[in-house]
């Protein structure tokens, strides 16, 4: 399983929110930096951010949803 980084939020809270949003539409996301970001958040706020990753096959869908601000999901649910 190859993972691709799709976002680098500045806080663990934002990374977890994104993970939950992706999970709510069936895209499993991973936060490989989760433990370290909880212990030493200052390292991620000033550097690279907290990585949120998905499987390579899900990367395009996840990126499209992030770029569209999840508006597509709400539109599909309304129909």
The band of 61, judged by pLDDT with boundaries at 50, 70 and 90, is very high
> Which H/E stretch holds residue 78?
helix 71-78
Q: What is the pLDDT of residue 70?
A: 60
Percent of the chain with pLDDT over 70: 81
Instruction: Report, in angstroms and rounded to the nearest whole number, the Rg of the chain calculated over CA atoms.
Output: 13
Q: pLDDT digit string (tens) for 13-51?
A: 889 999 999 999 899 999 998 888 778 777 666 677 899
CA-CA-CA-CA dihedral for 22, 25, 27, 28, to nearest 10: 70
Other beta carbons within 10 angstroms of residue 27's beta carbon come to 18
- Into how many domains does the chain fold? 1
Q: Tell me the C-alpha distance between 76 and 67, whole Å.
A: 16
Q: What integer pLDDT is reported at residue 79 of this predicted model?
A: 46
Domain region containing 32: 3-78
């Amino acid at each position: 399983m190859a993972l691709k980084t799709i976002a680098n939020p500045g806080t663990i809270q934002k990374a977890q929110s994104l993970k939950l949003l992706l999970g709510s539409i069936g895209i499993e996301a991973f936060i490989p930096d989760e433990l370290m970001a909880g212990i030493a958040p200052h390292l991620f706020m000033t550097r690279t951010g907290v990585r949120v990753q998905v499987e390579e096959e899900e990367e395009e869908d996840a990126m499209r949803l992030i770029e569209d601000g999840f508006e597509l999901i709400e539109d599909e649910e309304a129909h």
